[in-house]
């Protein structure tokens, strides 16, 4: 049974854009809609909410920017993917405001990524199986091949960290990892790692897999810390704060 919108509007006092936005979000929640499910048409929304067409359109634009709804021209409006795209765009924009913020934002992103992966250490070490190890090994080999050619391996790096947390089956974790990596990849090229550092990074990923394969949580956490150490060292130089490279993240 589809639940109606709350009766908060009236002919004399039509709902404003912000109120329409909240009503549409509440409608999705009350009806337990999922990504891809259809929403009422624009005309229906105007009638049900007693809102003007301009208010409904502005609300839809707002929700579309947040990936809460998706407008398919010629087909209608649907529940969006509910991704973290808006978070990525906001952080990336903040990072681009000036060069100092570039590195400050990257520093924060690195800290969050490190803390998240270290905090998940016990669950990851327990959950990863032979199939996942084989996939991770394959990505590490691709990294080594790129490193041998003096090339960076952005896509492989992103794929590795998504594969690492995939066995948990927690969609929000995967979205967070992907979102923070997307921000990282937008800013990290400014650091211009050397060829030896690229090789070091590839081997750091191999060490993470080796520790997980041994089911050694402490070694896994240390491998995660060591993996992020080179970029933290670079950031320390750019930010003029040596504690950035010396202060390891800690997980429970």
| CATH numbers and ranges of domains, the chain | 17-79 (1.10.10.10), 85-246 (1.20.120.530)
pLDDT the model gives residue 224: 95
Whole-number Å distance between alpha carbons of 107 and 13: 48
Where the chain has pLDDT below 50, the residues are 9-14, 242-246, 251-252
Longest CA–CA span in the chain (Å) reads: 71
Q: How far is CA 44 from the centre of its chain?
A: 34
Residues in the chain, overall count: 252
Query: For residues 177 and 195, what is the distance between their CA atoms, to the nearest angstrom?
Result: 26
Model pLDDT, residue 137: 98
C-alpha R_g of the chain: 23
So what's the pLDDT on residue 74? 86
Residues 79-117: b if buried by 16+ CB within 10 A, e if exposed: bbebbbbebbeebbeebeeeeeebbbbbbebbbbbbebb
Decide if 37 contacts 70 (C-beta within 8 A): no
The Cβ-side half-sphere exposure at 251, using a 13 Å CA radius, reads 23
Geometric angle at alpha carbon 23, from 18 and 29, rounded to 5°: 130
Global pTM exceeds 0.85: no
Q: What is the pLDDT of residue 144?
A: 96
pLDDT at 88: 67
């Amino acid at each position: 049974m589809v639940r109606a919108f709350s009766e908060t509007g009236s002919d004399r006092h039509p709902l404003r854009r912000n109120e329409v936005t909240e009503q549409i979000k509440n409608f999705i929640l009350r009806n337990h809609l999922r990504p891809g499910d259809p929403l009422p048409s624009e005309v229906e929304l105007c009638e049900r909410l007693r809102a003007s067409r301009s208010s409904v359109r502005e609300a839809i634009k707002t929700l579309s920017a947040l990936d809460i709804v998706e407008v398919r021209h010629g087909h209608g409006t649907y529940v969006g993917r509910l991704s973290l795209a808006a978070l990525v765009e906001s952080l990336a924009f903040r990072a681009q405001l000036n060069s100092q913020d570039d590195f400050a934002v990257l520093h924060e992103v690195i800290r969050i990524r490190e803390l998240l992966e270290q905090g998940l250490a016990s669950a990851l070490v327990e959950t990863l199986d032979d199939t996942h190890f084989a996939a991770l090994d394959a990505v590490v080999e691709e990294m080594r091949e790129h490193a041998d050619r003096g090339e960076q391996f952005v896509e492989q790096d992103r794929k590795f960290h998504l594969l690492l947390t995939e066995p948990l089956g927690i969609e929000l974790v995967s979205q967070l990892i992907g979102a923070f990596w997307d921000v990282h990849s937008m800013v990290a090229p400014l650091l211009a790692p050397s060829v030896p550092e690229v090789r070091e990074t590839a081997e750091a990923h191999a060490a993470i897999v080796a520790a997980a394969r041994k089911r050694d949580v402490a070694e896994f956490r240390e491998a995660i810390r060591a993996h992020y150490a080179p970029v933290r060292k670079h950031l320390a130089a750019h930010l003029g704060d040596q504690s950035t490279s010396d202060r390891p993240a800690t997980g429970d």
